Structures are given as structure tokens and as C-alpha cells.
Amino acid sequence: MSGVFSELFPTGAGLQRPFLRDESGRLLRYQDVLEQSAQIAHALRALGVQADDRVAVQVEKSPEALLLYLATLRLGAVYLPLNTAYTPPELEYFLTDAEPALFVCTPQRQADLEPLARRLGVRAVATLGAAGDGSLLSAAAGRAIEFETVTRAADDMAAILYTSGTTGRSKGAMLTQRNLISNARTLAALWQFTAEDVLLHALPIFHIHGLFVAINITIAAGSSLLFLPRFEPGLVLAHLAQASVLMGVPTFYVRLLKDARLNRELTARCRVFISGSAPLLIETHGEWRARTGHVLLERYGMSETGMNTSNPYLGERLPGSVGLPLPDVSVRITDASSGRLLPTGEIGMIEVQGPNVFAGYWRQPEKTRAEFRPDGYFMTGDLGQIDARGYVCIVGRSKDLVISGGYNIYPREIEAEIDRLPGVFESAVFGVQHPDFGEGVTAAVVRAPDAPLLTEAEALQALRVRLASYKLPKRVIFVADLPRNSMGKVEKKLLRERYAEIYRS
């Protein structure tokens, strides 16, 4: 193994194939990517970046941002993508913790962020704009189009991804060369990617889904990208007939279903629609199939592991399930406190082991040890069960488990029942401190547009015949929308904070 770039990037005739076409029609071949990433790698080296240095990047989505990612890999440095929504106080934590040799930001934010980075000891700051402007590309212009990619060992770091920090400060998941290579190759084979595929890319590229899954699989298969700057239903629908694959979060599919233009004819060329990064409602699964004739393929992964499971490309894709363990990944269900292996069908902690599992948390050895079992399995923090056929179903995060009156209550089960009620668009169930029950089961509900008005009393009455009394929400709160992060996951931490006092009066 010699590193992500050397192992995955095409050679020979494959270099003449298209790699990326953006919405303006601009085309980059693999040969162009090889040459331009070489120039940026030379520029990085001139800025003092060496192998194993961290390169922190907070820039808008663009083809040049992908070139920067590949150039960082070629140099043997460690790529650190940062959410474009992070504020200066948030960035201060990441730059302090990661100690990057280089920070790359947009030209528009340079005046605010360069002094911050310099104060924190970052040796170099460069800029990269979505329009192909900025100091980094200026430094790369005219440099040699050949670059000898630095050889890396399988366990050398390739990237650091900071977790969302829902239970405290974000932790930097250290992803190795082996992690990225194995996941890209396994998924490309499992989902039957070929050089003829065109992936419609509308995801952000600071996250494992949009960058390490979508981009690395594309490169591993020699496929090409239709590269959109963002997700916008009209923009996606305008390009959908040219694509063979769409990867998205559930929110993508929910919003596309609201557009009357979505039909079987428009999706006829697509061979697979993949969903992940957040739970997919069974109703969305069914409606997508009815409208398009396609069965959504749901999979399960996380920042620390890449992908762990997937519904089959060929075979039954079960609504409500994230599918089977990947061929090189072992998944088991255990009792969270004792580590005891649980029998088929019981709910417990999802643990995984495989070449996809990260090396640990950056500079947090104690936290790393706490998250791994002695036999090497990683405790994901997700609660789930495995059925008799091996399909995995996730019932929620362990931190979202509600313990009310001594009972363990799994929010996703209650959400599924609420979402079936007439007049409900979506819901989120969470626990809030309660003087009698310890935690009170609480539901935030978004009403469906143009539906008869559903009241709290009506919702609770309907749920009484569907749920055991101890699972019944103490309150149903109607909200305009649910708080989400950039990947569409509902941020229940914010809901718990918002309604922390609801049972104290």
C-alpha cells in the first residue's frame, strides 16, 4: 500500500477520461487533475507543508477545493476539512487542537481569519475562492505539472475529521490511508461503480459523505462527477437525466419529492439512489419508489469509520434498515455496560471492526481507549439490532436514549409511530428532565403542509393505541421545522436545551 492517491488514481488510458464537469460545462479530465494537483502540491511544499503536517481547510465547494484535497494527499500531509459555517470562536478551537502547518480560507474571510490563525501559531495562511481565485492558486500557477507523490504506509494518517461535538468538544477522528482506500474499494465494488458512471454530486465536501465516500469511490472506479455547488431541488432535477448515481441525505429525497417534475422518465438513466448520514423515513422510502420506480439504497456510516453497512445493490433493500455489514467489516450488538454479546433481535450497542475503523482520536489517548473494546471493536454510540438475516436496524444514539420511570425508551420507535399520523410531516423525540419520571418523553412535530390541523390532544389520543403507556410522550410540541446540521441530521441536543424547563412548572 502506497497511499490513497497512488492506490486509487487512474493511470494510462484512464487519464483521458472525464473526471468532473460543473454546472457551467467546464470539464476536467483525470490528466488535468493529475497536473493541477501536482502544481498545488508544489505550492504547498513552498509554503512549508511537509509529510504528516495538517492542512486545515475552510473554503467553499469548488473543483479547486478537490484539487487541494488531492494535492495534500500527494504531499503526504493530513487533510483537515472544516465546516464552512464555523465561526471564528469555533475555528479557534480546531486550529489550536490540530496545530496545522497551513490554514486555507476564502479570500473574503482572510481579513478576519488570518490574524486569528497567526495568533494561534499557524505558520502559513493561504486563500482559495470558489471562482478559482486566491493566493494558493496564484502560488501554484506556472509550477511543474509533475510531482512525485510521497509514499505512505497503510497506518499513516490521511485525514482528520472532527466529530459534531454533540456531547461536548469535538474530537478529531484520525483516518488512515488504509481506512480511506479500503472503504473506497469495497463500496465501489459493492455498488458496482464503473468508469461509465456519472455521479451527481450536490453534497458539501467537508464531510465524510461528500468527500471520502463520493469522491474517493469516483476516483477508485474511474467514474466522473456532475459537480454542483450545492443542493437545490431545481438544480438537481435539471441535471438528473445526465446522471447514473445520486448520493444524498434523506432531506434531499424529501425535498425532491415535493417537486412535481420528479417522475420515472426523469430518473430513467439513474441506476441507484443512495441515502445516508441521517435516518430515512419508511414513508420516504415508499413514496420514492412509487414516484420513480427506484428503491432507495440506505447505508450506515460515521466519521470514525466511513461506511459500515449497506443495503445490497442486488437483493432486497429493507425500508427502515441500513442493510448488511460490508464484506470486510464485522458488526455485533452488545450490552453497552458489560460488553456481553446480545442474541439476534435484541437491542444494544452497535460495535464494528474492520480496515475502515479509524486509528483513534487526535491527541486523546484516554478517550480512544474508552471507545474501543479490548478485542479491538469500536463502540459506535449507536443503538441497534440485527435480524435473523443479518440486516442491521438502528434505533437511535445511546446519548438519545430516554430513561423514563426506569424504562429504556428508543426515540426512533416513537418517531415512526408519530410520523404515521395524518397531518404529520416529521418528528423528533427526545428526553427532558422530569421531576417524577427522571426524563419525560417529549416530541417535537412538524405539521404536514395543507393537512388538517392536528392538535396535541389528538396526537396523544392516536398514539395511545399504538404505544405502551410508558412510551407515550408527555408533551407534543408543534414546531415550524427541526434544527439540523449541515448533513441533515436533527440536532436533538438543541431541542433538549430549548425545552429544558418544560416540566419544571
Tell me the C-alpha to C-alpha distance, in Å, between residue 364 and each of 97, 203, 355: 10, 30, 21
**CATH for 231-397 (3.30.930.10, 3.40.50.12780, 3.40.50.970, 3.30.70.890):** 3.40.50.12780
Which of 277-286, 402-411, 468-477 reaches the highest mean pLDDT?
468-477
Residue 296: the pLDDT is 98
pLDDT of residue 166: 42
In angstroms, the CA 50 to CA 61 distance is: 25
CATH number for the domain whose boundaries are 4-188: 3.40.50.12780
Q: What is the pLDDT of residue 505?
A: 65
Three-state secondary structure of 105-124? ECHHHHHHHHHHHHHCCCCE
Name the pLDDT band for 437 (thresholds 50, 70, 90). Answer: confident
pLDDT digits (tens, 9 = 90+) for 103-130: 999 999 999 999 999 999 999 999 999 9
At residue 168, the pLDDT reads 57
pLDDT in tens, 197-217: 999 999 999 999 999 999 999
Distance set, CA 65 to CA 104, 133, 143, 200, 381 (Å): 10, 11, 18, 17, 32
Whether residue 335 has pLDDT greater than 70? yes
Instruction: Identify whether the C-beta of residue 351 lies closer than 8 Å to the C-beta of residue 331.
Output: yes
Quote the mean pLDDT of the chain: 94
> Which tens digit of pLDDT belongs to each residue from 60-92?
999 999 999 999 999 999 999 999 988 898 899
Q: Is 328 helix (H, G, I), strand (E, B) or coil?
A: coil
Q: How far apart are CA 249 and CA 397, in angstroms?
A: 18
**What HEC string does 56-80 produce?**
EEECCCCHHHHHHHHHHHHHCCEEE
The residues that bridge with 361 in the sheet, in sequence order, are 173
Give Cβ neighbours of residue 449 (< 8 Å, ≥ 6 apart).
425
Give the pLDDT confidence score for residue 279 in this predicted structure.
Answer: 81
pLDDT over 60 (residue 299): yes
Task: Single out the residue of 434, 384, 435, 444 nearest to residue 410, CA to CA.
Answer: 384
Residue 401 is predicted with a pLDDT of: 82
- Grid cell locating 215: 469522491
Enumerate residues 6+ apart whose C-beta is below 8 A from 402.
408, 409, 410, 411, 429, 430, 431, 439, 441
Percent of the chain whose pLDDT exceeds 70: 99
Contacts 24+ apart (CB under 8 A), 113-121: 113/58, 113/88, 116/88, 116/91, 116/92, 120/92, 120/95, 120/96
User: Which residue is associated with the grid cell 461506511?
Assistant: 307
CA–CA gap between residue 436 and residue 24 (Å, rounded): 60
Topology of domain 401-498 in CATH is: GMP Synthetase; Chain A, domain 3 (3.30.300)
Same fold, 4-188 and 231-397: yes
How far apart (Å, rounded) are the C-alpha atoms in residues 226 and 245? 10
pLDDT bucket at 167, cuts 50 / 70 / 90? very low
Residue with cell 510521497: 150
Please report the pLDDT score of residue 400 as a whole number.
85
Q: What confidence score (pLDDT) does residue 395 get?
A: 87
Look at residue 253 in the predicted model and tell me its pLDDT. Answer: 94
What pLDDT does 504 receive? 83
Whether 411 shows a pLDDT value over 80: the answer reads yes
* Structure confidence by residue, pLDDT tens digits, 237-265: 999 999 999 999 888 998 999 999 999 99
Domain boundaries, the chain: 4-188, 231-397, 401-498
**Other beta carbons less than 10 A from residue 270's beta carbon:** 18
- The mean per-residue pLDDT over the stretch 156-165 comes to 88
Per-residue model confidence (pLDDT) at position 285: 94
DSSP 170: -
